[in-house]
Structure 1
């Protein structure tokens, strides 16, 4: 049993202070007409922020898992393609990737789609796709998806490679197929290693989702920018914006830590 002094040192006093400050700010906002108005305006973007984050994270995880499996395949060409994808995408800043997807990638996609479906369009089965038909919201989601898939693929790769080779060999000896070995043996063990860094990426994506405001997507940051530009209440607006992001990110971090502890206890039992 650890000494009492160690237990006191490990007590999350930072969380007590953070919660106290959060409650005090909430009371202040509720009792101030100005801050209540700012909060009501900025909070309209919470739904868009959550939607962008969740959709981009799910898609990035799916692509990242596929790239990780390619990188560990027996094919040299697949491994080289996976490594090329990871290194190139990780070398481009998310903001630059966002601009490229929005203003270069989307028009290129539309042109390619129209070229491929030209016979069908001539037959009246399809209408011509215009660049404006691809919403800025989905351009932003695809940019975040591509950007984070490269980082998440490395998380999956490291977690899968951490599984002991002996267990995989034993599964082979039992006659399990490659897919069965991955589903029943490898992934359930790898997820305990993958979950902490994957959770960190999810929290980071919540913050990086604020970059979609440069495209005019009505997330938390964009709502704050619009309100501040119209009212010149920059201090109040961006203080509330930061407060909302902190509530989201700290809350998610605590929830993920609780999930990690629960999985660890289940493993130990």
Structure 2
């Protein structure tokens, strides 16, 4: 069936199917919203009727304490953001180099492959907090610098060392997932090994593992708060100082909420991109 301009019009059956899908979608949204409200009300009523709710509310959810702690905690969060940006760039560079080293072919590159494999095994096995202690107190103890590096610099180095191992393995998996025919075709066109890797293999590899890379970034967003163990005045350390002065844990809750708000955009972007990739890969699979 066509309209007056020759364009195809959906059949009556297709229109009925679309209307049914719209009704089902609306019904699902309403049911989901209703069940969420009911669940939230039940949880809230249960919580406020517990014997210790008043004490917990004053200790952890005091608005006056949150307002008083806000300037220092927010200032500390800006420090976390600076460390996060620098660490993300460092992780991207170092992780890419390690991933490329692990995928080099030829016996002459065996030492590089072994070194890269040992690096990833070591730093994926070490807890981040131990790496922070080793870097934060071990490097200054070597006496390599005239002045002791700041806790922010040392914390950034520890983050880069740890997360580069995870990112390198993710990128290596993406590189190895690219079909060998892509390399062969690029070399047949006259591209060198370096150009093949840069122009053909890496772009495809990054697209394949982008959701995993985003998840690593989300993880690093919250772990950047661990630099406080070295004495850096970030959001966590600022919350600790405010808690010690007021004997109230609300600053910790405030810092936690700020970290959640910082991570939410990346989390939602990761979910959206993962759904987009999944939908693209499943085109034509629905009957």
TM-score normalised by length of structure 2? 0.73
Distance 1:178 1:6 in 2: 51
Distance 1:63 1:45 in 2: 27
The runs of 5 or more residues in structure 1 that have no matched partner are: 22-30, 112-128
Larger-Rg structure: 2
Mapped contact 2:80–2:224 kept (Cα < 8 A): yes
Residue of structure 2 aligned with 1:39, choices 64, 70, 74:
70
Name the CA shift for 1:203/1:46 in 2 (closer, same or farther; >3 Å). same
Q: Which residue in the other structure is 1:71 paired with?
A: 102
Greater Cα shift, 33-42 or 59-68: 33-42
1:35 Cα deviation after fit? 2.5
Q: Which residue in the other structure is 1:199 paired with?
A: 214
The runs of 5 or more residues in structure 2 that have no matched partner are: 1-17, 41-61
Mapped contact 2:65–2:248 kept (Cα < 8 A): no
- Residues 1:248 and 2:265 aligned together: no
Q: Which residue in the other structure is 2:116 paired with?
A: 82
Alignment of 1:139-218 (within 5 A): 139-218=154-233
Distance 1:190 1:10 in 2: 37
Q: Secondary structure at the match of 2:191?
A: coil
Distance 1:162 1:57 in 2: 24
| Cα distance per residue 1:183-229 (max 9 Å; x no partner) | 22112211111211111111101111111111111111111011101
Name the CA shift for 1:169/1:86 in 2 (closer, same or farther; >3 Å). same
Residue of structure 2 aligned with 1:130, choices 131, 146, 152:
146
| Cα distance per residue 1:232-267 (max 9 Å; x no partner) | 111x11221211111111222113334556778899
1:10 Cα deviation after fit? 8.6
Q: Which residue in the other structure is 1:126 paired with?
A: none
RMSD over aligned Cα, in angstroms?
3.0
1:153 Cα deviation after fit? 0.4
Aligned length: 235
Distance 2:173 2:25 in 1: 33
Q: Which residue in the other structure is 1:257 paired with?
A: 271
Distance 2:177 2:129 in 1: 32
